[in-house]
Amino acid sequence: MNRSLRRLDSVHQRLIDTVSPLEAGLFSQRPAADEWSVAEIVQHLFLVEERVIKDLKRALASEPQTVGFLKRLIPTSIVSSRLLRVKAPKAVNPVDVVEKDEAIEIYNRARSSLKHLCASHGPDRFRKLVFKHPFLGNIDGIATVSFVGYHEQRHYKQIREVLKKLGAQASLPA
């Protein structure tokens, strides 16, 4: 779980470093009518993370369970690929996008909550819970934390694509 948490910190910091300096107009501008803005991507990320935290808390309140051996072999890294398009569940689609500073604050707060939850229960307990992922199926808590990091990495790539489409390459960190 430590490796997953380090990946969470690393990609989160890169994403925050990319979106923090953006002007409000650029943050909320869509590259096309059918594509999300950076603001909508950030909102999607914190909605997913809040949902994951809620579901992990529910699983932690239940009796310990394990996922099958084959399910533990599913690589959560597949989530980071931008080649495979997956429609987000309606509950985590961005609506009523908030201002940049508030979005970043909510996003950082969700990340702190997830890390606190991990620290409070530890890897042994996270191995003994079942999280129902809409695409990956049943995965354990360690894989769930890993999923969050890879999901964030996927959308970090998307943010970079959006900014390039909007002609904001100068805003992108190396």
Q: What DSSP assignment string belongs to 127-143?
A: HT--EEETTTEEE-HHH
**102/163 Cα distance (integer angstroms):** 20
Question: Which DSSP symbol is given to 33?
Answer: T
CATH code at position 101: 1.20.120.450
* Residue from 87, 76, 105, 92 nearest 40 by CA: 92
Structure tokens at 3: 């490796």
The answer, yes or no, to whether residue 135 has pLDDT greater than 90, is no
**67/89 Cα distance (integer angstroms):** 23
Q: Domain tally for the chain?
A: 1
pLDDT digit string (tens) for 155-166? Answer: 999 999 999 999
Q: Which domain holds residue 31?
A: 2-171
pLDDT digit string (tens) for 40-66? Answer: 999 999 999 999 999 999 999 999 887
